[in-house]
Amino acid sequence: MNPDHSPVLRGVLVGIAAQSVFSVHDACAKWLTQSYSVFQVISMQAMVSGTLVALALILSGQAKRTAIRDPRGLALRGTLAATGALASFYAYTVLPLADVYAIIFCAPLMVTAVSAPLLGERVKGKEWLAIAAGFCGVLIVINPAGQALSLGHAAALVCAFVSVAVTLLLRSSANQGSRFMLVGAVSVGHFLVGLPGFMLSARPPAAGDLPVIILGGAAMAGAQFLMVQSLRMAPAALVAPAQYLKLVWGLIFGFLVFGDYPKLHMLAGAAIVILSVLYLLGRSRAPQV
């Protein structure tokens, strides 16, 4: 492997890890929305993730040294992330995880389409083909001709557009500020967006749900840290397709946790998704000429 390109490979691998942890967060959110309002789930998980970020700041000794370099950018990212969470959490309440992911996975194509003009990143023709193949795999999974569209589908589409904006903001600012601030902005945004509905509909969480709440909040914080790190190391156009692997996790969690049995077309689509991501991972190892 060319040593000059190993950071890109590591960045893609970290991005894959981030999406895997995001899937744990999403599964926890879907589980909790069966018993609590979307607003309460967002707020509870944000309190956990925010607490963890604050502890990390204190324990690392960066609490006094960390300055907010771009408060407007942080506020915008936090607001967008919270909007995306609200839309996705609603979609989880009415659709299977795999269906939500299939719609959200428009995002990598959109990120690739705009990363060249906005971020100056180079995307080659073969990488375009791999991303398009992954998107085709997503379409095979969702089987749009076989079901009626609903508000849940619209909410998932809103989440896809928000995901593009957040990814581009992260890529452009990942090296310009503290990871703690970038992740903390998401936690604050989630909490503020969920707070009004939380105050109106909150009820004490059951003791048995506390581990799920803590796990979901910890997964949210951990996934955000990993995503920031991946975008510091690799182009957004190569990191974004790692999101496709959430589809595989969605099928696994859907079957094991929620009793959603995968159909043949879903497994075929998931196989295409995996192959496209593996190809892009291989491209990240190749010298860029």
Model confidence pLDDT, tens digit, residues 189-223: 878 877 887 788 778 899 999 999 999 999 999 99
Question: What's the rounded Cα separation, in Å, for the pair 9 and 260?
Answer: 34
- If you average pLDDT over every residue of the chain, what do you get? 78
Decide if 2 is inside a domain.
no
Q: What is the CA radius of gyration of the chain?
A: 18
Which residue carries 């895997």 as its tokens? Answer: 20
Predicted structure pTM score:
0.71
Which residue carries 């959109």 as its tokens? Answer: 110
Question: What's the rounded Cα separation, in Å, for the pair 52 and 187?
Answer: 10
Per-residue confidence (pLDDT) for residue 165, from 0 to 100: 81
Decide if 170 is inside a domain.
yes
Local structure of 3: helix, strand or coil = coil
Decide if 88 is inside a domain.
yes
Decide if 1 is inside a domain.
no
Decide if 19 is inside a domain.
yes
Question: What's the rounded Cα separation, in Å, for the pair 221 and 43?
Answer: 13
DSSP of 220-288, one letter per residue?
Answer: HHHHHHHHHHHHHHS-HHHHGGGGGHHHHHHHHHHHHTT--PPPHHHHHHHHHHHHHHHHHHHHHHSPP
Among 37-46, 142-151, 241-250, which stretch is predicted with the lowest mean pLDDT? Answer: 142-151
Written as one letter, the residue type at 198 is F
Question: What's the rounded Cα separation, in Å, for the pair 73 and 69?
Answer: 9
Decide if 108 is inside a domain.
yes
Decide if 46 is inside a domain.
yes
**Residue 251's domain spans which residues?**
7-284
Per-residue confidence (pLDDT) for residue 113, from 0 to 100: 66
Q: What average pLDDT does the segment 97-110 reach? A: 73
Question: What is the number of structural domains in the chain?
Answer: 1
Per-residue confidence (pLDDT) for residue 222, from 0 to 100: 92
Decide if 289 is inside a domain.
no
Tokens representing residue 36 in the block: 């609590």
